[in-house]
Structure 1
Amino acid sequence: MIKMYASIDDYVRLGYEELDDKTEVYLERASRQVNVICFGRINGYGFSNLTDHQKSLIKEAVCAHAKFLYDYKDYLSIPLNSFSISKTSMNFGDIGVSISGIRTSKEVVEYLRGTGLTCRVIR
């Protein structure tokens, strides 16, 4: 079972406004997806075994990713990359970046890069 790496208190403390009554749901989903982006290493090493610096960056990444999931929820599940009607076109492929099949923001990627847990090299 994947635990939540950031609480609602962390979310609010970092300056985000609660997401209706679904903040916890988005934080749980974000925690699972952040762990996948880190190749399962957060859960594998154990969150409590990481350094304080890594924990802090992971909390920030989870909160930013939860906000991203909430803001783009209507677009992330669309099976189309783009469509056009007459002179109007929309491209959904430009929303965030995709890592390990998960779409997120560049901000989240930068937080996670700082943890050293996204490196593809086996250690």
Structure 2
Amino acid sequence: MSYEPYVSPEYYRDTYQDGAFEEDAELVRYLRQASRHIDSLTYNRIVGRGFSNLTAYQQDLIREVICQQAEFEYEYRDEINSALSSYSINGVSVQFAENTWNVFSTKGVAMRRDVYAMLCQTGLCCQVLR
């Protein structure tokens, strides 16, 4: 049985209604990747409970977070996948801080802080829950 992302391309196009992706193959790939990242950040609680067993509120938040995370990972794919943390050319330097005021990284997932805060509203991100 293959892994199914929590957001379908149809949901993304019809409900979320953003056009960040040029090709359907990219959209499917990034929705799957974002879903897996959300599983990591929620300690696989969604997998354990089953998406359909979550409340409607939790499902809506998770879908919105996945759409935003997929777009973020697509838009910043070069920076996220870069092995460099800083570079300098002709006296101009750029640094990619791991944790800045609006973006942070945890468990190998780079994410906007406001999107992570939205995910935390589901109650599935707490480390001490069992």
Partner of 2:18: 16
2 CA distance for matches of 1:100 and 1:74? Answer: 19
User: How many residues were matched structurally?
Assistant: 123
- What are the equivalent positions in structure 2 for 1:1-123 lying under 5 Å apart? 1-12=2-13, 13-21=15-23, 22-93=26-97, 94=100, 96-123=103-130
* TM-score normalised by L of structure 1: 0.90
Amino acid at match of 1:15: Q
1:91, CA displacement in angstroms? 1.4
Distance 1:122 1:66, change over 3 A: same
1:18, CA displacement in angstroms? 4.8
Render the CA deviation track for 1:50-85: whole Å, top value 9, x for unaligned.
111100000001000000011101111111111223
* TM-score normalised by L of structure 2: 0.86
1 CA distance for matches of 2:76 and 2:122? Answer: 25
Larger deviation: 79-88 or 90-99?
90-99
